Amino acid sequence: MIQTFSADSFQNYCDLLSKKDKHLKGIIQEHGYPPMWTRKQGFETLILTILEQQVSLAAAFAAYKKLKAKIGAVTPEKILAMSNEELRECYFTRQKQVYAKELAIAVTSKKLQFKKFPSMTDEDIRTQLTSIKGIGNWTTDVYLMHALQRTDLFPLGDIALVNSLKETKKLDPHITKDEMLAIAEPWRPYRTIAAMILWHAYIKKRNLKVEA
């Protein structure tokens, strides 16, 4: 079954999690509900998510703004028309230049068809996306969460999420991923919302400004 969240259901899911977990409840009591972080579906969002790989959100968004200023709407055709030098001027590393072009090729060749995603399962989407060079599980998780608003992702490839979980639960710094997944298990089928609550705590604790 495909389950999504929306503006109508998001805070209700937060409330359900608050009843299940005192630490998540504490975050909402201290900081309020998290924003419902969503992005539009499609190519441009995946390009932004590629830019976010292994860098700060601020650095990624600076690159994204530079790209938008240069080409306007970010389309596969425009990315394929850019030289590596032009992409480098928009802060794409050599690897990310390759990833962006591989994604553009997948879309223009119709290997990837975003319009089909809403009716596909998370795992079928994951299989399609991770077949493209440069798109791994973290990038797929972020797309499923923010663009498709699927309710049950918990991306342990995300350092901010892992750190917030450790801080909130006062966990051993060397806790394993399997142990963290076990902690998140009672939050099914709303682990995406739990992740957003934990991100909210991380951002508030550090007084970060999040764009995009």
The angle at the Cα of 67, spanning 137 to 57, to the nearest 5 degrees, equals: 45
Average pLDDT along the chain: 97
Q: Could you tell me if 51 and 131 lie in one domain? A: yes
Q: Check residue 91 and report its DSSP letter.
A: T
147: pLDDT confidence band, cut at 50, 70 and 90? Answer: very high
Q: What is the CATH number of the domain that holds 173?
A: 1.10.1670
Q: Could you tell me if 139 and 177 lie in one domain? A: no
- Tell whether the model's pLDDT for residue 1 goes beyond 90: no
- Tell whether the model's pLDDT for residue 211 goes beyond 80: no
Segment holding 77, helix H or strand E: helix 76-81
Compute the distance between CA of residue 124 and CA of residue 136 in angstroms, rounded to an integer.
14
Q: What percent of the chain has pLDDT over 70?
A: 100
- The reply to whether 84 falls in a domain is yes
- Residue pLDDT, tens place only, 95-141: 999 999 999 999 999 999 999 999 999 999 999 999 999 999 999 99
- The reply to whether 1 falls in a domain is no
- Residue pLDDT, tens place only, 65-106: 999 999 999 999 999 999 999 999 999 999 999 999 999 999
Compute the distance between CA of residue 164 and CA of residue 6 in angstroms, rounded to an integer.
24
Tell me which of 119, 146, 173 is where a domain ends.
Answer: 146
Q: Could you tell me if 21 and 72 lie in one domain? A: no
Which amino acid is present at 19?
K
Tell me which of 130, 146, 162 is where a domain ends.
Answer: 146
Tell me which of 146, 170, 190 is where a domain ends.
Answer: 146
Q: Check residue 47 and report its DSSP letter.
A: H
Q: Could you tell me if 139 and 53 lie in one domain? A: yes
Q: Say how many domains are in the chain.
A: 2
pTM: 0.95
Compute the distance between CA of residue 98 and CA of residue 133 in angstroms, rounded to an integer.
8
Compute the distance between CA of residue 48 and CA of residue 32 in angstroms, rounded to an integer.
27
Tokens at 29, concatenated = 């009591």
Tell me the mean pLDDT in the region 15-24.
98
- Residue pLDDT, tens place only, 155-187: 999 999 999 999 999 999 999 999 999 999 999
- The reply to whether 3 falls in a domain is no
Tell me the mean pLDDT in the region 41-45.
98
Identify the domain containing residue 103 by its residue range.
Answer: 43-146
